[in-house]
Amino acid sequence: MTLLSDLPQIRGVKNIPIQEGFTSGHRTCQGCESALVMRLMIKAAGPRTIVVGSTGCMYVANTTYYSTPWVVPWMHTQLGSSGSAATGTAAGLRSMMRKGKMKDEPINVIAFCGDGGGADMGLSAISAALQHDEYNLLILMYDNESYANTDIQVSGSSPWGANSTFSPPGKVHRIMNNRWKKNMAPMLATGHPNCRYIATACGSYGLDFTNKIRRALTIGGPTFIHSIDPCPKGWDYDPKYSHELGMLAVETGLWVQYEIVDGEVILNGPSRVIAKGIRQRKPVSEYLKRQGRFAHLTDEDMEYFQSKVDESWEKWWLPGVVPFRPQEEE
């Protein structure tokens, strides 16, 4: 049995490790929240970690010729292969340790992918990885809600109505992206009941994020975290507001923070407070109006968007998580 890392939960932001594993040398856009996610991820995991990155923003921006921000061992894999690469890396380590060619010690395996490489092209590989209970690994999907690396094309995670290079608003059809955002975490949790840990996260809540990374790496078996990452280029806003928009996504109820631990759903942070009725959700318009990708939406469009969020909180079986409801008795 592969040993698990000893990574205790962090109490207080001031206790987040100072040691950096993701440093200077990257070429991410100004205000890139995904860069913060990478930095927090490796702070939480520590130096005894192997990072596997599939093609996407966090691959291209972090591998400029002869330059990389990664201090830990790092490997590139293809766009839809994060799950396969994570499984192969974990299996290889286990085999080497079993044969006595490596010291038998806990080594974290983390594979990251964007929403294009995770929610779309890499979904089958992630599913396969989550079925291998014998390997300890984490797959982190950083979600900037588009194929941002190739100039902002629509992905399965792009929200309804968003302007992109593949869904520009026109005179005849104002709304070109009519799909609602793919609900990744519950989908994977439902389809893989043996997976012990699946969670949603946001880099704007740094302590919550780092502790979720640690839970995923210490619970045992394959795990998955879906992070929402504001993107100045794709979402069209001033880069200084990335952190604020991440918080607004949660405070409006559009993005729900939770963990699914051994089949039990645990709401976190503002989402937990909202669900208990202690705090009211902010209007979704406060979030939409801050982004140029929604500048073409009318008041009626925003009311429709709000109604869909209201429905997820008021009619879904688990608010903001499970889009089913029991049949009403006649």
Q: Tens digit of pLDDT per residue, the chain (330 long)?
A: 456 778 999 999 999 999 999 998 888 999 999 999 999 999 999 999 999 999 999 998 888 777 889 999 999 999 999 999 999 999 999 999 999 999 999 999 999 999 999 999 999 999 999 999 999 999 999 999 999 989 999 999 999 999 999 899 998 999 999 999 999 999 999 999 999 999 999 999 999 999 999 999 999 999 999 999 999 999 999 999 999 999 999 999 999 999 999 999 999 999 999 999 999 999 999 999 999 999 999 999 999 999 999 999 999 988 888 888 877 776
Q: 94 in the Ramachandran plot: left (φ > 0), alpha (ψ -120 to 50) or beta?
A: alpha
Best CA proximity match to 128, nearest among 84, 89, 98: 84
Taking the model in full, what pTM does it have? Answer: 0.96
Rg (alpha carbons) of the chain, rounded to whole number: 20
For residue 153, the tally of other CB atoms under 10 A from its CB is 16
> What residues form DSSP beta bridges with 56?
none
Query: What's the CA gap between 229 and 248, in Å, rounded?
Result: 12
The upper half-sphere exposure of residue 157, i.e. CA atoms within 13 Å in the direction of its Cβ, equals 29
Q: Rounded mean pLDDT of the chain?
A: 94
Query: What's the CA gap between 136 and 220, in Å, rounded?
Result: 6
Domains and CATH numbers, the chain: 13-314 (3.40.50.970)
Helices (H), the chain: 33-45, 57-60, 82-98, 115, 123-130, 184-191, 206-218, 232-235, 242-251, 269-275, 284-288, 299-314
CB 15 within 8 A of CB 106: no
129-139 pLDDT per residue, tens: 999 999 999 99
> What residues form DSSP beta bridges with 110?
51, 138
Query: What's the CA gap between 270 and 278, in Å, rounded?
Result: 10
Rounded to a whole number of angstroms, the distance between the first and last alpha carbons of the chain is 52
